[in-house]
Amino acid sequence: MRTIYRLMILLLFFILYACSKDSEVKVECPLTVDTFTVLLTKQYEGKEYYLAKRISGWHEKTVIIQLFDRKPRLGECNEDLVKPIFEDSIDTEKPLEKMSVDLKSIVEPIV
């Protein structure tokens, strides 16, 4: 019985410390965090590109297609740490089923 009380006291101490102002972890993300999925990785002229889909919003969801010329990296709240070279939102009532991307038309004007 003493062991259970000790464990409960230890757990209570841990919870109080973890939620105190002195705790190291302080991430303030919005209530809803975007979902992020890499859809495709493609080689073009010796460089690797990443096509990703981001879904943003609480009730009215927005689908955003992003193209990266480096591997995408996300922060603690799923924000981009690598800037996409192209992004656009898709207005559609239906789910996205098929999409084609012409890398040449997007990448060559940048270079």
Q: Is the residue at 82 inside a domain?
A: yes
- Determine, yes or no, domain membership for 104: no
- Domain presence at residue 98: no
For tokens 């990703």, the residue is: 52
For residue 103, being part of any structural domain is answered with no
Q: Is residue 99 part of a domain?
A: no
pLDDT at 33 over 60: yes
42 within some domain: yes
Number of domains into which the chain is organized: 1
In a domain, 46, yes or no: yes
DSSP characters over 25-65 = ------SS--EEEEEEEEEETTEEEEEEEEEE-SSS-EEEE
Q: What letter represents residue 49's amino acid?
A: Y
Which residues, 6 or more positions from 104, have their beta carbon under 8 angstroms from its beta carbon? 44
Q: Are 96 and 90 in contact (CB under 8 A)?
A: yes
78 with 36: CB under 8 angstroms? yes
pLDDT digits 0-9 by tens, 66-103: 999 999 998 888 888 999 999 988 876 766 666 677 77
- The pLDDT, as a whole number, for residue 50 is 95
* Residue 110 domain flag: no
Per-residue pLDDT averaged across 30-58, rounded?
A: 88
For residue 51, name the pLDDT band (cuts at 50, 70, 90). very high
Q: Which domain holds residue 25?
A: 2-93
- Rounded percentage of the chain residues whose pLDDT exceeds 90: 24
The reported pLDDT for the residue numbered 58 is 78
Regarding pTM above 0.85, the answer is no
